[in-house]
């Protein structure tokens, strides 16, 4: 039995100090931020295991679930981001990184269906290429934080069709570029285009994330929304949605993306002259969404 004075100067793994022992193994990490993130991650994971007294079967099931999540990923499907979405992590990261203090349009999740090269459109164009849905005039103004109009701002939009699918999910069914477009605002920062009233739809639920939703009694639906990325020189771009006020699922979005400030009514306009002016059949619906960007 060694005397205390000859006890080696080392700390081996123990239940009580498990996180500290593992954190010490990161002492040689060259990147200080990586060390901070890993240390915190390990602390929270170890706390979690102790909190629920995780069984070996549960640990095995978790590994199996994460493996299946990875295996469900393809070049066109990112099941890990979907997992992050339904756990509210994507929204939390988005919110923490884009605090506005109430001074600008709030952001929400990008989602997996944005096209980097959105089809370039002219103001007034009709983006509903499949002829389905309830016609809607979408318009708004992009301004800076003081209400100054941002001439030439870009407004990138995308939404599902009436059947609840994005064009990229149905390449053999929908025309390419259906219900998406990249617009350039006019000299007053105003934009307008023809589309259809957005529809609610389910996120992809035929994989491990869908099984998680089912196991927890959750539905896979997102409330009706139009995605928008607005950008202007000298300002921070915003990635957001506008939600339809009377849509189902506003209070139970599968990915927690709804913010009250982003919900809008979509009233009907019954005005034959106005309908002819904008190129829609009378009556039609209108969705107005002004966006305010913070300065860089």
Q: How far is the CB of 17 from ligand BEZ (least distance, A)?
A: 39
d(CA 230, CA 183): 10
Rule CB under 6 A: say whether 203 interacts with ligand BEZ: yes
Q: Are 240 and 261 in contact (CB under 8 A)?
A: no
Which of residues 249 and 284 has its CB atom nearest to ligand BEZ in the complex? 249
**Using CB distances below 5 to 8 A depending on partner kind, what does residue 109 bind out of ligand BEZ, Fe ion, none?**
ligand BEZ
How many residues contact Fe ion, by CB under 5 A? 1
Interaction residues for Fe ion, span 109-128 (CB under 5 A): 111
Query: Angle 223-116-135 (CA atoms, 0-180°, nearest 5)?
Result: 45
Rule CB under 6 A: say whether 255 interacts with ligand BEZ: yes
How many residues contact ligand BEZ, by CB under 6 A? 9
Which pair of structure tokens corresponds to residue 254? Answer: 């599968």
Q: Are 203 and 87 in contact (CB under 8 A)?
A: no
Rule CB under 6 A: say whether 164 interacts with ligand BEZ: no
Rule CB under 6 A: say whether 196 interacts with ligand BEZ: no
The residue to which tokens 């913070």 are assigned: 294
User: What is the longest distance spanned by two Cα atoms in the chain?
Assistant: 98
Q: Are 69 and 80 in contact (CB under 8 A)?
A: yes
Q: Which helix (H) or strand (E) holds 113?
A: none
Q: How far is the CB of 166 from Fe ion (least distance, A)?
A: 7
> With CB under 5 A as the contact rule, which of the stretches 75-83, 107-115, 174-182, 255-263 interacts with Fe ion?
107-115
- DSSP strand E in the chain: where? 135-143, 154-158, 180-184, 190-196, 201-202, 221-222, 225-231, 238-244, 263-264, 268-269, 284-288, 291-292
d(CA 2, CA 179): 76
Cβ burial 241-261 (10 Å sphere, 16+ → b, else e): bbbbeebebbeebbbbbbbee
**Using CB distances below 5 to 8 A depending on partner kind, what does residue 155 bind out of Fe ion, ligand BEZ, none?**
none
Give the 3-state secondary structure of residue 54.
Answer: coil
**Using CB distances below 5 to 8 A depending on partner kind, what does residue 85 bind out of Fe ion, ligand BEZ, none?**
ligand BEZ
Rule CB under 6 A: say whether 250 interacts with ligand BEZ: no
Nearest residue to ligand BEZ by CB is 111
The residue to which tokens 């096209």 are assigned: 115
Q: How far is the CB of 61 from ligand BEZ (least distance, A)?
A: 24
Q: Are 226 and 241 in contact (CB under 8 A)?
A: yes
**Using CB distances below 5 to 8 A depending on partner kind, what does residue 207 bind out of Fe ion, ligand BEZ, none?**
none
Q: How far is the CB of 280 from Fe ion (least distance, A)?
A: 23
Interaction residues for ligand BEZ, span 63-122 (CB under 6 A): 82, 85, 109, 111-113
Which of residues 111 and 220 has its CB atom nearest to Fe ion in the complex? 111
Which of residues 38 and 89 has its CB atom nearest to ligand BEZ in the complex? 89
Query: Angle 134-246-205 (CA atoms, 0-180°, nearest 5)?
Result: 85
Q: How far is the CB of 222 from ligand BEZ (least distance, A)?
A: 5
Applying CB under 5 A, the residues found at the interface with Fe ion are 111
Applying CB under 6 A, the residues found at the interface with ligand BEZ are 82, 85, 109, 111-113, 203, 222, 255
């Amino acid at each position: 039995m060694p005397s205390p004075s000859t006890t080696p100067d080392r700390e081996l793994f123990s239940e009580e100090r498990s996180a500290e022992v593992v954190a010490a193994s990161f002492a040689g990490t060259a990147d200080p931020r990586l060390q901070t993130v890993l240390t915190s991650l390990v602390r929270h994971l170890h706390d979690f295991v102790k909190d629920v007294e995780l069984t070996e079967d549960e640990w095995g099931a978790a590994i199996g679930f994460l493996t299946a999540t990875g295996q469900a990923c393809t070049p066109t499907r990112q099941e890990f981001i979907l997992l992050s979405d339904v756990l509210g992590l994507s929204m939390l990261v988005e919110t923490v990184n884009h605090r506005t203090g109430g001074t600008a349009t709030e952001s929400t999740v990008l989602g997996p269906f944005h096209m980097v090269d959105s089809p370039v459109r002219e103001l007034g164009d009709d983006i509903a290429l499949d002829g389905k849905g309830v016609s809607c005039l979408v318009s708004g103004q992009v301004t800076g934080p003081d209400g100054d109009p941002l001439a030439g701002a870009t407004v990138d939009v995308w939404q599902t069709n009436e059947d609840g699918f994005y064009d990229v999910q149905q390449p053999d069914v929908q025309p390419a570029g259906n219900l998406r477009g990249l617009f350039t605002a006019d000299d007053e920062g105003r934009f307008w285009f023809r589309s259809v009233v957005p529809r609610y739809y389910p996120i992809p639920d035929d994989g491990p994330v869908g099984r998680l939703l089912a196991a927890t009694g959750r539905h896979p639906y997102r409330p009706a929304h139009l995605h928008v990325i607005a950008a202007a020189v000298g300002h921070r771009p915003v990635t957001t949605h506008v939600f339809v006020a009377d849509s189902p699922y506003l209070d139970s979005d599968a990915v927690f993306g709804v913010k009250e400030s982003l919900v809008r009514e979509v009233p009907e306009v019954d005005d034959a002259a106005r309908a002819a002016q904008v190129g829609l059949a009378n009556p039609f619906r209108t969705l107005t969404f002004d966006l305010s960007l913070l300065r860089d």
